[in-house]
Each structure stands twice: as C-alpha cells, then as structure tokens.
C-alpha cells in the first residue's frame, strides 16, 4: 500500500467526529483530497509539530478522540514528543506514522527510518499499545479496534514511496484552518 491508500483506509474507518492533526506536506494534502472535514487541522510548513499539536489537543479536549497523521521524517524531527506522550499517556490519543522511508514531499530524499524500530520505541516510552503494520487489511482491523480502546496508541504504518496521484495543496490560510477547526469544537 502507498501513503494515499493507507490514509484512505484511516479516513473511511473513522467513527465520526475525531479530530485529525496532520503533518505538513503530502500527508495533509492526501487527507484533504480524501475528505474535506472541519475537524481536520493541517500543519503548513511546520515540520515535526503534528505530535506537539495533537498532544496539546488531547489534554485540552478530553472528550474527543485525537488522531495524529504523522510522517517518518516529521516524527524523527519531533522525536522528543514520543517521550512526552508516553509519559503523560493521554487516553484519547492515537498516533499514526506513515513511514515511506523518505522525505516524500520534497523529492524522496532518504530518511533514517529504516534504522528506527518506531513501534518498539513507542511501547518502551509508555504508549499503551503499539503496532507495526504493513498490510491494508491489518491497518483496517487494528485501527477500528484501537478507536474503541483507551490509548495512547501508536501505529507504525509501512507504506511504499510510490505516488500515483498528485494531490493539490491545502486551499486555506493558516488562519482559516485554525478558525474552521475551532468552529468544529463548538
Ligand atoms: C524545518 C523544516 N525542514 C524542512 C521542511 C521541508 N519539508 C516539508 S515536508 C518535508 C518532508 C516530510 O517528510 P515525512 O514526514 O516523511 O512525510 P512524507 O512527505 O514522506 O509523507 C520536508 C523535508 C520543512 N517544512 N520544515
Ligand atoms: Mg516520509
């Protein structure tokens, strides 16, 4: 499966009004291409920070489920956030990492992700569950299961770097993204 196929499975299996926080670049664009939701927050340019924003939201919106859609390059840039999430253990947080082993958005420069056992690291740091997934059917099954269970949950999702569909940029300014997202909380 490639990143778009994996993102599509996640979006199709949401149970309703989960808040999604997206890493910058293609992850945001592909999710927007799959479905335009007010409950989607997109980082524009701010690499490494989807997990920070998702963590803060999880603490401040305890009655909502928060799903972070992260990339391997992004998670490596904000690696300390795994320790923060593992230590505070927000029950309402799900952290997904789409690992294509490259900085896909900027031209497929290799990351160091092949050396990093992300799911083992997340488990050791205190996430309640952690899985490595490389097949569409297991992504669907495990994602549906963890949505019903208290977290924090971590899914390391191995995807191919292949891009079959170029998705357009997010057509909103940062201010519009923020205001639309806040309006979905009311
Ligand atoms: C501090 C910083 N460095 C570099 C960039 C340029 N940049 C935007 S997206 C991206 C790649 C992100 O990689 P990854 O999280 O693996 O996502 P992918 O595009 O592979 O899905 C890079 C390097 C940036 N936005 N900010
Ligand atoms: Mg990547």
The pLDDT tens digits for 40-56 are 999 999 999 999 999 99
Using 50, 70 and 90 to split pLDDT, how confident is the model at 17? very high
Write out residues with Cβ below 6 Å of ligand 1.
Answer: 3, 23-27, 45, 47, 71-74, 98, 100, 102-106, 111
In this structure, the residue with its CA closest to atom 1 of ligand 1 is: 47
Q: Could you tell me the residue range of the domain that residue 171 belongs to? A: 3-183
Q: Using the mean position of ligand 1's atoms as its centre, give its distance from the Cα of residue 158 in Å.
A: 17
Q: Tell whether the model's pLDDT for residue 186 goes beyond 90.
A: no
Q: What is the mean pLDDT of residues 157-179?
A: 98
The model's pLDDT over 138-165, given as tens digits with 9 standing for 90+, comes to 999 999 999 999 999 999 999 999 999 9
pTM of the predicted model, to two decimals?
0.99
- Within 13 Å and on the Cβ side, how many CA atoms surround 120? 4
* CA 24 to ligand 1 center in whole angstroms: 7
Asked whether 8 and 34 are in contact (CB, 8 A), the reply is yes
Contact status, residue 42 vs residue 177, Cβ threshold 8 Å: yes
Q: What is the pLDDT of residues 53-111, one digit of tens each?
A: 999 999 999 999 999 999 999 999 999 999 999 999 999 999 999 999 999 999 999 99
Q: Average pLDDT for residues 8-21, to the nearest whole number?
A: 97
Q: Which two tokens stand for residue 89?
A: 């253990």
Shortest-distance Cα residue to atom 5 of ligand 1:
47
User: How many other C-beta atoms lie within 10 A of the C-beta of residue 21?
Assistant: 28
Mean pLDDT, to the nearest integer, of 161-180? 97
CB 59 within 8 A of CB 28: no
Tally of domains in the chain: 1
CA dihedral 166, 70, 135, 86 (to 10 degrees): 180
Using alpha carbons only, give the angle 96, 73, 100 rounded to the nearest 5 degrees. Answer: 70
Q: Which residues of 29-54 are buried (b: 16+ CB within 10 A; e: fewer)?
A: bbbbbbeebebbbbbeeebbbbbbbb
Q: Which ligand is nearest to the CA of 30?
A: 1
CATH number at 90 reads: 3.40.50.970
Expressed in angstroms and rounded, the spacing between residue 71 Cα and the centre of ligand 2 is 5
60 CA to centre of ligand 1 in angstroms: 27
pLDDT at 130 over 90: yes
Instruction: Measure the CA–CA gap between 73 and 28, rounded to whole angstroms.
Output: 14
Over 90: is that where the pLDDT of 126 sits?
yes
């Amino acid at each position: 499966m490639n990143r778009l196929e994996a993102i599509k499975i996640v979006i199709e299996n949401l149970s309703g009004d989960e808040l999604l926080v997206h890493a910058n670049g293609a992850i945001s664009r592909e999710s927007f291409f799959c479905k335009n939701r007010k409950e989607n927050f997109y980082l524009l340019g701010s690499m490494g920070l989807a997990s920070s924003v998702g963590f803060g939201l999880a603490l401040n919106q305890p009655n909502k489920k928060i799903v972070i859609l992260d990339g391997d390059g992004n998670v490596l840039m904000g690696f300390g956030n795994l320790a923060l999430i593992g230590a505070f253990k927000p029950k309402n947080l799900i952290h997904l990492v789409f690992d294509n082993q490259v900085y896909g958005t900027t031209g497929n420069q290799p990351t160091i992700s092949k050396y990093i056992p992300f799911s083992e690291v997340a488990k050791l740091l205190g996430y309640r569950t952690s899985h490595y997934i490389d097949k569409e059917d297991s992504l669907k099954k495990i994602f549906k299961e963890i949505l019903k269970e208290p977290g924090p949950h971590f899914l390391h999702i191995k995807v191919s770097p292949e891009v079959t569909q170029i998705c357009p940029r997010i057509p909103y300014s940062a201010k519009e993204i923020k205001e639309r997202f806040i309006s979905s909380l009311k």
